[in-house]
Amino acid sequence: MVRKMLTKSSVIGLNTYTSDARYLGKVVDFGVDLQNPSNVTIIVEGKDKRYVVPVSYIKAVGDIIILAENAPLDELAESKPSTQVSTQPTTTVTTATPATVSTPSYPTTRVQQPIQQPSTQPVIPRCPTCGTALIYYPQYGKWYCPRCRKYTEVPPAVLSRVPRCPTCGNYLSYIEQYQKWYCYKCGKYVNV
Ligand SMILES: [Zn+2]
Ligand SMILES: [Zn+2]
């Protein structure tokens, strides 16, 4: 058996078949893996794929090339760069995605509703430390915790729901002992 020397000119243009006689494509080039120079490949250009086939998978070379049975064609196949066109419809899908994203913004509206409903009900400002109902002193414009004996801030969300005195317009203080609202400016209880 004569040892055959594989040259570029001897293989380029040859039709390549798999071991089960399936036509793969034409050899268009020769390649050498720089990481592994002993791995010489032939580039087979098929109809819609190109195959980078190590020469070790070549079973026979004559007028045609026949590949070995164990040639992992799926692994060796490379998709042609022409498939880039298919990314355009994908962009259209991406544009449609923000519309789908905006739909979950409904729960935000739903969250706001329960807040609006109790807003008609008075809210008792309480001390963030001990939970005691705070006293509003109109002369200082401040909220005071009688238990902690200190002034404290009331969050605006709570403040907007604190009932006001119909006479003077100041915030009312909730007297837990009597379960009534009291105006420290007018010095009287107010029905809320
Ligand atoms: Zn307190
Ligand atoms: Zn008042």
pLDDT of amino acid 2: 53
What pLDDT, in 10s, does the model give residues 109-133? 455 544 444 446 899 999 999 999 9
Q: What is the pLDDT of residue 59?
A: 92
At residue 180, the pLDDT reads: 96
Give the residue carrying structure tokens 């040259």. 7
Show the beta-strand stretches assigned E in the chain: 15-17, 23-32, 40-45, 49-54, 58-61, 64-67, 77-79, 135-137, 142-145, 150-152, 173-175, 180-183, 188-190
Q: Report residues near ion ligand 2: CB below 5 Å.
A: 165, 167-168, 183, 185-186
Res 4: pLDDT? 66
- What pLDDT score was predicted for residue 131? 96
Residue 49 and residue 83 in contact, taking contact as beta carbons nearer than 8 Å: no
Distance (Å, whole) CA 105 – CA 151: 39
Residue 169's pLDDT is what? 97
Nearest to 187 by CA among 147, 137, 121: 137
Q: Tens digits of per-residue pLDDT, 129-158?
A: 999 999 999 999 999 999 999 999 999 999
Instruction: For residue 19, report the distance from its CA to the centre of ligand 2, in Å.
Output: 99
Sequence-ordered list of residues with C-beta below 8 angstroms from that of 65, at least 6 positions apart, any chain = 11, 14, 15, 16, 17, 27, 42, 58
* pLDDT in the model for residue 141: 96
Residue 134 is classified by DSSP as P
> From ligand 2's centre to the CA of 181, what distance in Å?
11
Walk me through the domains of the chain, giving residue ranges and CATH numbers: 8-80 (2.30.30.240), 122-190 (no CATH)
User: For residue 109, how far is its CA from the centre of ligand 2 (angstroms)?
Assistant: 35
Distance 192 CA to ligand 1 centre (A): 24
Query: How many angstroms does the Cα of residue 141 sit away from the middle of ligand 2?
Result: 13
Quote the ligand 1 centre to 136 CA distance (angstroms). Answer: 13
Q: How far is the CA of 119 from the centre of ligand 1 (A)?
A: 24
Q: Cα of 185 to ligand 1 centre, how many Å? A: 22
Query: Cα of 25 to ligand 1 centre, how many Å?
Result: 84
Q: Which ligand is nearest to the CA of 138?
A: 2
Per-residue pLDDT of the chain (192 residues; tens, 9 = 90+): 456 677 888 889 999 999 999 999 999 998 888 888 888 899 999 988 999 999 889 999 889 999 999 999 888 888 765 544 444 444 444 444 454 454 455 554 455 544 444 446 899 999 999 999 999 999 999 999 999 999 999 999 999 999 999 999 999 999 999 999 999 999 999 999
What is the per-residue pLDDT for 149? 97
